[in-house]
């Protein structure tokens, strides 16, 4: 039996780093079960080069991604809306549409670093935390939904 893909929207403020990396990780891990998109409340207009580099290091290419406004997705149905901003550092976007909400916050990479190598290391740390935390949580979320769907 073919199952429909779950629709997931990952939100952040600028849609330049964290939400882009999360989108890439989710697509690579669950692309057969999930349609994933990302957006921001104030799109930066670019995907951060260090986000691209950090993801490339683990074999995921997000170089073709673009920074998008959440306005592009208004009115579209989503099963899950995931925010990845760190509440302590900035205001996370609020999704006005339908869909279950989940927040898994990560610090904005590169904010503390004084040099490029330090900044790249922060991007790697966020990427690795997402792999260790976000992907298992999302796997459990998908499995619960698929059990209900049977």
**CATH number of the CATH domain containing 21:** 3.40.50.2300
What is the model's pLDDT at position 144? 94
8, 12, 70, 130: the active-site residue: 12
148 located within any domain: no
More confident residue, 52 or 148: 52
For the ranges 89-98, 109-118, 124-133, the lowest mean pLDDT is seen at 89-98
Q: Is 79 a catalytic residue?
A: no
On whether the CB atoms of residues 138 and 30 are closer than 8 A, the answer is yes
146 located within any domain: no
Q: Is 92 a catalytic residue?
A: yes
Q: What are the pLDDT digits (tens) for 18-70? A: 999 999 999 999 999 999 999 998 899 999 999 999 999 999 999 999 999 98
- Count the neighbouring beta carbons within 10 Å of the beta carbon of residue 34: 18
More confident residue, 50 or 112: 50
28 located within any domain: yes
Give the max Cα distance, the chain. 53
105 located within any domain: yes
On whether the CB atoms of residues 71 and 92 are closer than 8 A, the answer is no
100 located within any domain: yes
**Whole-number Å distance between alpha carbons of 74 and 61:** 26
E strands, 89-135, where? 100-103
**Whole-number Å distance between alpha carbons of 150 and 143:** 11
On whether the CB atoms of residues 34 and 146 are closer than 8 A, the answer is no
Nearest to 27 by CA among 59, 72, 74, 51: 59
Segments forming the whole domain that contains residue 16 = 6-141
84, 85, 120, 138: the active-site residue: 85
**Whole-number Å distance between alpha carbons of 121 and 54:** 9
28, 92, 104, 135: the active-site residue: 92
Report the pLDDT averaged over residues 73-82.
92
149 located within any domain: no
12 located within any domain: yes
Total domains, the chain: 1
Cα four-point dihedral sign 75, 71, 54, 104: negative
């Amino acid at each position: 039996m073919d199952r429909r893909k779950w629709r997931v929207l990952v939100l952040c403020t600028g849609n330049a780093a964290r939400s882009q990396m999360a989108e890439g990780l989710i697509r690579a891990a669950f692309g057969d079960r999930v349609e994933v998109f990302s957006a921001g409340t104030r799109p930066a207009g670019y995907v951060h080069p260090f986000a691209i580099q950090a993801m490339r290091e683990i074999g995921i290419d997000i170089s073709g991604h673009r920074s998008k406004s959440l306005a592009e997705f208004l009115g579209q149905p989503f099963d899950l809306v995931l925010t990845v901003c760190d509440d302590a550092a900035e205001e996370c976007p609020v999704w006005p549409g339908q869909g279950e909400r989940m927040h898994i916050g990560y610090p904005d990479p590169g904010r503390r670093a004084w040099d490029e190598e330090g900044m790249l290391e922060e991007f790697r740390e966020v990427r690795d935390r997402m792999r260790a935390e976000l992907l298992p949580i999302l796997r459990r979320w998908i499995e619960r939904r698929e059990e209900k769907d049977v």
